[in-house]
Structure 1
Amino acid sequence: MRHIYSCPLRWSDMDAFGHVNNVVFLRYLEEARIDFMFRLAPGDGSPSFSGGSVVARHEIDYVRPLVHRHAPVTVESWVTKIGAASLTIAYEIKDPDVTYVRASTVVVPFDLEEQRPRRISAEERAFLEEYVDDGMTSAA
């Protein structure tokens, strides 16, 4: 299963050439990741992922320029790896007929009080396993 996030484009996202600036795509990934990871914690009173997490690594491939427009872009997210104390989330930023970016992020759950990484809890692992995907993408 993949998490789907509808990401608005902002006027300030655009560079001098009318394209969404390359660094802005990391913000889009962050918005999608937060929307995904915090689906478990709020509402149910679960402490999962609420203690914090840090990004250990980003990898991003810019496939096509995204021209600024008023319509949002879709960010699909899924989990490709779950370790003892880290996970890898993959993404595609796309429209139905074109992919603009393929990316991945290594995320480390973090204990804010202790100021150190922590292990992934059983509850978090069960949630993440629902989003494990082989990452096969459609040709775009």
Structure 2
Amino acid sequence: MNELLKEYPVITEIPVAWGEMDAFQHVNNVVYFRYFETARIDYFREVALMDEMYKTGIGPVLRETNCRYKLPVTYPDTLYIGSRVSELHDDRFTMEYAVVSKKHGAVVTTGTAEVVMYDFNNKQKANMSPLLVDSIQGIESRTLVQQETF
């Protein structure tokens, strides 16, 4: 699993639940967006984004998200969702996800999300703080170190 997710600094482990499967006997397509949300929140926790939002009133809103399905996943399985930021702009960033199935030993799903910073007090888009940018860059630099050790 490590090799498949070496370019993702934050890894979230999620066991597949029986109830996530649909009538076609594989994990329903909608469930992957919940997996991405869980991984995104784990990433936000790593960069202390939610702490900053509570202090400043400026936080993330999801502008766009997508998912590409490669292999069906069934119960029982354990998934490892790698998350990373691939693009940083003044007021937004793009996240990428890779979902690895323990059972398949392969990437089964990929996805992206565009996250925009929003000032909830003034109801308008806002720029990312220098602290947040530094924190994201620090987390992302982990993968550069990991890649150099392989």
TM-score (norm 1): 0.82
Match of residue 4 from structure 2: none
RMSD, aligned α-carbons: 2.1
Residue 30 of structure 1 is aligned with which of 37, 57, 62? 37
- Number of aligned residue pairs: 130
Q: Please, which of 71, 81, 85 is the counterpart of residue 91 of structure 2? A: 85
Alpha-carbon distance in structure 2 between the residues aligned to 1:88 and 1:49: 18
In the TM superposition, residue 110 of structure 1 has moved relative to its aligned partner by 1.6
- Conserved? CA contact 2:101–2:107, under 8 Å: yes
Structure-1 separation of matches of 2:109 and 2:60: 23
Which residue of 1 is the match for residue 52 of structure 2? 48
8 Å Cα contact 1:20/1:65 also seen in 2: yes
Structure 1 residue 49: Cα displacement:
4.3
Tell me which of 105, 109, 118 is aligned to 2:117: 109
Per-residue CA deviation, residues 66-100 of structure 1 (Å, 9 max, x unaligned), is: 1121x431000011000000000101011352111
Note the alpha carbon deviations across 1:86-129, whole angstroms, 9 max, x for none.
Answer: 00010101135211111110001222222222111111001111
Amino acid at match of 2:94: T
Partner of 2:132: 124
Asked if structure 2 preserves the Cα contact closer than 8 Å seen for 1:76 and 1:93, the reply is yes
* Aligned residue type for 2:64: R
Q: CA deviation at 1:11?
A: 2.6
**Identity of matched residues, %:** 26
- Give the drift of 1:38: 2.0
Separation in structure 2 between the aligned mates of residue 91 and residue 49 of structure 1, nearest angstrom: 23
Distance change in 2, residues 1:109/1:93 (3 Å): same
| Aligned partners of 1:37 and 1:49 also within 8 Å | no
Q: In the alignment, is the contact (CA less than 8 A) between 1:93 and 1:99 conserved in 2? A: yes
**Distance in 1 separating the partners of 2:15 and 2:123:** 33
Cα distance in 2, alignment partners of residues 10 and 115 from structure 1: 38
CA distance in 2, matches of 1:128, 1:60: 23
Match status 1:3 vs 2:10 = yes
Instruction: Please give the TM-score of this superposition, normalised by the length of structure 2.
Output: 0.77
Higher helix share: 2
Which sections of structure 2, spanning at least 5 residues, go unmatched?
1-7, 145-150
Relative distance call for 1:49 and 1:75 in structure 2 (3 A) is farther
